[in-house]
């Protein structure tokens, strides 16, 4: 019989290290909180130290409340959570985050690429990339590529979790339009480019798994649901999308950040997913992603383009090591 999506309330080893990008708010906050409450060491990677520390203090209060309720799986006395600075809109910041993490000498068992922007007006980063392309996809691509060697050395069950969206179904892949150079602020379709950024994540899942399929690291993707969170901050100036999201909230179509985090948590911690790769999850169940996302030729085009965009940040050794796995 079916039921509501859920994740196992089973204690995790305190030695298990999990990074959650954007773990200070929304889905990321709930994901980081619950994985930490189950016992793992969680690193919240985001821009603001102040907001991250505030989130951690709220997590502690939530943790004590859940323990008083007798929630199963909560065996540790305190949460093990720390903040690390990561600004995905800057590739320099992204690389520094990677270097700072490596300097800790910690293993890495789960990398949850959760942070993202929704339907942002046309903006280019200091690196010259369209903002949603970089924040939602390219900078995470860099983090994954740089941290894979750490994950290879971290034990038998390591996972990369890419938080995509059902919106990837509405996107097409066009190499010449990735950076939106054909558009200006007036005619830029922010929804289309958000959809595209989510498509790239699903395509990355396939491209990466092809290269590391014999390793201890698996890559999976998911749709969290239509979540009532700070995701809407990017398009509060757009009456059309703001109205649609308000309607979704009023009609019960949108869900809470906790419910939106359930699939992320499940894919990250559920023992039944050990060794599982190339799966796109929705409500904790495998579903088939779009035909466009499964086009191998286009996946490889995106892969090559991504490497070109990151040529100043990825060494030949980074790429060769990946191809050898």
Which residues carry out catalysis? 194
SS3 293: coil
Comparing C-alpha atoms, which of 133, 135, 128 is closest to residue 114?
135
Q: 307: buried, middle or exposed (CB in 10 Å: 19+, 13-18, 0-12)? A: middle
SS3 83: strand
**DSSP summary character for residue 39:** T
Q: Which helix (H) or strand (E) holds 111?
A: strand 110-113
Q: What torsion do the CA atoms of 220, 226, 229, 233 make, to the nearest 10 degrees? A: 100
**What does each C-alpha distance from 103 to 100, 150, 187, 314 come to in angstroms?**
5, 11, 44, 18
* Contact (CB, 8 A) for 234 and 30: no
* Contact (CB, 8 A) for 241 and 235: yes
Q: What torsion do the CA atoms of 44, 84, 100, 125 make, to the nearest 10 degrees? A: 100
Count of residues for the chain? 325
Q: DSSP letters along 131-186, please?
A: HHIIIIIIHHHHHHHHHHHHHHTS-S-EEEEEE--GGGGG----GGGTT-TT--TT
Comparing C-alpha atoms, which of 111, 270, 131 is closest to residue 205?
111
- The Cα 88–Cα 132 span in angstroms is 10
- The Cα 36–Cα 12 span in angstroms is 9
């Amino acid at each position: 019989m079916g039921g509501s999506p859920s994740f196992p309330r089973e204690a995790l080893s305190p030695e298990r290290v999990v990074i959650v990008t954007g773990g200070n708010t929304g889905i990321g906050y709930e994901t980081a909180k619950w994985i930490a409450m189950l016992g793992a060491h969680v690193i919240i990677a985001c821009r603001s130290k102040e907001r991250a520390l505030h989130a951690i203090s709220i997590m502690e209060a939530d943790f004590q409340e859940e323990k008083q309720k007798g929630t199963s799986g909560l065996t540790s006395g305190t949460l093990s959570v720390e903040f690390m600075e990561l600004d995905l809109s800057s590739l320099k910041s992204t690389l520094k985050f990677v270097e700072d993490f490596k300097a800790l000498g910690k293993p890495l068992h789960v990398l949850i690429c959760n942070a993202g922007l929704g339907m942002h007006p046309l903006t280019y980063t200091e690196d010259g990339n369209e903002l949603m392309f970089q924040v939602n996809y390219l900078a995470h691509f860099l983090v994954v590529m740089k941290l894979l060697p750490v994950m290879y050395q971290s034990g038998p069950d390591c996972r990369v979790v890419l938080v995509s969206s059902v919106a990837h179904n509405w996107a097409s892949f066009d190499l010449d339009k990735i950076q939106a150079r054909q558009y200006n602020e007036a005619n830029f379709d922010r929804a289309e480019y958000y959809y595209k950024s989510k498509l790239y994540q699903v395509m990355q899942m396939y491209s990466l798994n092809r290269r590391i399929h014999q390793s201890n690291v698996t890559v999976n993707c998911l749709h969290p649901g239509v979540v009532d969170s700070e995701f809407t901050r990017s398009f509060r100036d757009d009456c059309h999308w703001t109205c649609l999201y308000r309607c979704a909230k009023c009609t019960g179509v949108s869900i809470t950040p906790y419910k939106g985090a359930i699939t992320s948590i499940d894919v990250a911690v559920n023992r039944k997913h050990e060794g599982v790769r190339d799966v796109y999850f929705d409500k904790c169940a495998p579903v088939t992603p779009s035909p466009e996302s499964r086009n191998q030729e286009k996946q490889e085009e995106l892969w090559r383009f991504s490497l070109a965009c990151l040529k100043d940040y990825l060494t030949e050794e980074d790429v060769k090591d990946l191809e050898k796995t």
